[in-house]
Amino acid sequence: MMRVILASGSPRRKELLHTIYQDFEILPAKGEEISAARKPEDRVRELACHKAREIYGKETGPVLVIGADTIVVADGCVLGKPKDRDDAHRMLTLLQGNDHSVMTGVCLLWRREDGSTGEDVFFSGTKVSVYPMTGQEVEDYIATGEPMDKAGAYGIQGTFRKYVKGIEGSYNNVVGLPVSRLYHELTRLQLIQAPPGIPGETGEH
């Protein structure tokens, strides 16, 4: 039986991965945040791989490690997590009344029971359009505390949703993990348990 490890401490990624795996472990990578990549899509792939490799390197036996990294790109600026409230204010002022991209890189590293190993890296991008916000709305949102642990200083699934006009692409990618693309890859690579059959309802008949 292959162990599954999520190399991220994000509670949002944990919840999303539960859509795919009932049981997995969480071992957050510290993550080497330095990347020489110029393109944001290369950068998130690279940072996701740093995280996955950090955990994979410590493990023996059959294992699948999932690393992920999310950034926000607005007007050519790459936005990570805000350093403080002023930084959150700067980011939200840039995002309001504007379109931006959210990019998540995912790196899968695995060793099967037969000892064979493999790697799969992909990225998913989503365009997000935000309604114009008043200065008071920006301040009120920062006061909720939601921005501080999130790339781009907002969480699409929280109270910020009333400012999100629309998106193009995967919603869960903005939350932090492109769960449908991940499920697709894991199925293709045969890294997923067969769905449990419901006796009498499904299966061979």
Binding site residues, a second copy, CB under 8 A: 16, 19-20, 126, 131, 136-137, 139-140, 143, 156, 159, 161-172, 179-181, 183-184, 195-198, 201-202
**Alpha-carbon separation of residue 145 from 66, 88, 93 (angstroms):** 28, 10, 16
CB neighbour list of residue 155: distance below 8 Å, 6 or more residues apart:
12, 146, 147, 175
DSSP type of residue 153 = G
User: How many Cβ atoms sit within 10 Å of the Cβ of residue 57?
Assistant: 9
Nearer residue to a second copy within complex by CB, 58 or 184: 184
SS3 state at 64: strand
Measured CA distances, 90 to 74, 79, 122, 134, 154 (Å): 12, 10, 30, 13, 12
Task: Report the residue number, 122 or 183, with the smaller CB distance to a second copy.
Answer: 183
The least CB distance from residue 200 to a second copy, in Å, is 10
Minimum distance between the CB of residue 109 and a second copy, rounded to whole angstroms? Answer: 21
| Residue 42 is among the residues annotated as catalytic for this protein | no
Of 23, 42, 69, 120, which residue is the catalytic one?
A: 69
Nearer to a second copy, 131 or 189 (CB): 131
**Min separation Cβ 182 and a second copy, Å:** 8
Gap between the Cα atoms of 134 and 162, Å rounded: 13
Contact criterion met (CB below 8 Å) for 105 and 45: yes
Residue among 113 and 204 whose Cβ is closer to a second copy: 204
Instruction: Give catalytic residues, as residue numbers.
Output: 69
